[in-house]
């Protein structure tokens, strides 16, 4: 169940849906030119990882344990931030816990089930964000689009490396997903560009959740409209896709440790994540970016299997 290969297009759609919520939460506060450069670099890295691991990986059990622990941290951080899109919630812990449970329920069904669910939600998210962007574009002030050097880009680097977690899952051999990588880099820069254009770079870089705040201020024909529920629903779906992706990767790694350990690993990872939410949110984004680079990119490349060499028939 956890070792069944996923169709490439389903996996990439799942990864794109998974990055939508953290992109909306954080990339609006990063200058668009930095987001574009970091997005292209991140896309190049995880495309290299996908190309290098398409024939599978060696099962290095100590490395798998370290990867599961880092996945638990990533799930914890994602769950901790998932409640930020519902600022009026009376109990701040309810949304993260509910999403963790739902993500674990999706992940325990195996890789293909999670990928199908993520691929369906991808199109829902495309529709929701397209509506929000369509109403936000008329609010853009072109003088705000000049690039300014603000912020350090560490949070953007951590967010843009999230699709690399998909390299931990088994997928069928196929075409290189370079169009997905390029598309995610451009969309990430678009989030930063649109937010800065509406709010101004000075305001956007000093607000946590700048894209959300920008959507709240949208007006149509001079009348302020409240789109909080729409953007909150879209971001909630995105956080669910991210949690299910990371938990499924943990389940797959647990299955490599021992047959039958996939499902318990999913729930153990979710339990650890629930306990560490407050701590994980305070960890430096540079640690998250470095961890993603090491555990999701470097180690899978080092543990890749060599492509089989076809033997030529002797005449």
pLDDT digits (tens, 9 = 90+) for 130-159: 988 888 888 888 888 887 776 678 899 999
Q: What is the DSSP letter of 5?
A: P
3-state secondary structure of 171: strand
306 pLDDT band, cuts 50/70/90, is low
Distance CA 305, CA 283 (A): 34
Distance CA 109, CA 1 (A): 7
Beta-strand runs (E) in the chain:
219-220, 223-224
Closest by CA to 117, choosing from 23, 246, 244, is 244
Residue 255 CB neighbour total at 10 angstroms = 22
> Alpha helix (H) ranges present in 169-226?
178-199, 201-204, 210-216
**How high is the pLDDT of residue 21?**
94
**How high is the pLDDT of residue 312?**
47
36-65: pLDDT as tens digits? 999 999 999 988 887 766 655 556 788 899
Of the listed ranges 104-118, 205-219, 228-242, 284-298, the one predicted with least confidence: 205-219
The pTM score is 0.91
Question: Rounded to a whole number, what is the largest CA-CA distance in the chain?
Answer: 80
Contact 187, 62 (CB under 8 A): no
| Strand partners of residue 6 | 171
89-134: pLDDT as tens digits? 677 788 999 999 999 999 998 888 889 999 999 999 999 999 888 8
């Amino acid at each position: 169940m956890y070792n069944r290969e996923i169709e490439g297009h389903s996996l990439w759609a799942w990864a794109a849906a998974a990055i939508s919520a953290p992109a909306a939460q954080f990339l609006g506060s990063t200058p668009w030119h930095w987001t574009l450069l970091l997005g292209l670099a991140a896309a190049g890295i995880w495309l290299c990882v996908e190309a290098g691991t398409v024939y599978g990986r060696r099962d290095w059990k100590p490395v798998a344990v370290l990867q599961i622990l880092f996945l638990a941290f990533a799930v914890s951080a994602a769950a901790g931030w998932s409640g930020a899109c519902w600022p009026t919630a009376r109990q701040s812990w309810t949304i993260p816990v509910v999403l963790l449970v739902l993500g674990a329920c999706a992940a325990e069904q195996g890789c293909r089930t999670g990928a199908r669910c993520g691929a369906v939600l991808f199109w829902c998210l495309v529709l929701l964000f397209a509506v929000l962007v369509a109403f936000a574009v008329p609010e853009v002030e072109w003088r705000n689009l000049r690039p300014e050097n603000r912020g350090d880009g560490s949070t953007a680097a951590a967010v843009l490396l999230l699709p690399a977690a998909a390299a931990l899952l088994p997928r069928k051999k196929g075409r290189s997903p370079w169009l997905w990588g390029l598309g995610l880099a451009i969309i990430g820069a678009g989030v930063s560009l649109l937010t800065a254009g509406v709010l101004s770079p000075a305001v956007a870089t000093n607000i946590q959740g700048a894209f959300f705040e920008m959507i709240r201020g949208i007006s149509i024909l001079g009348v302020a409209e409240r789109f909080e529920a729409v953007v909150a629903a879209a971001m909630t779906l995105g956080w669910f896709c991210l949690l299910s992706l990371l938990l499924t990767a943990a389940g797959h790694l647990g299955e490599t440790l021992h047959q039958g350990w996939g499902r318990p690993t999913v729930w153990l990872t979710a339990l650890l994540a629930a306990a560490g939410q407050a701590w994980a949110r305070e960890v430096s984004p540079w640690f998250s970016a470095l961890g993603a680079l090491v555990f999701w990119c470097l180690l899978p490349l080092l543990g890749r299997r060599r492509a089989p060499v076809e033997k030529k028939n002797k005449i």
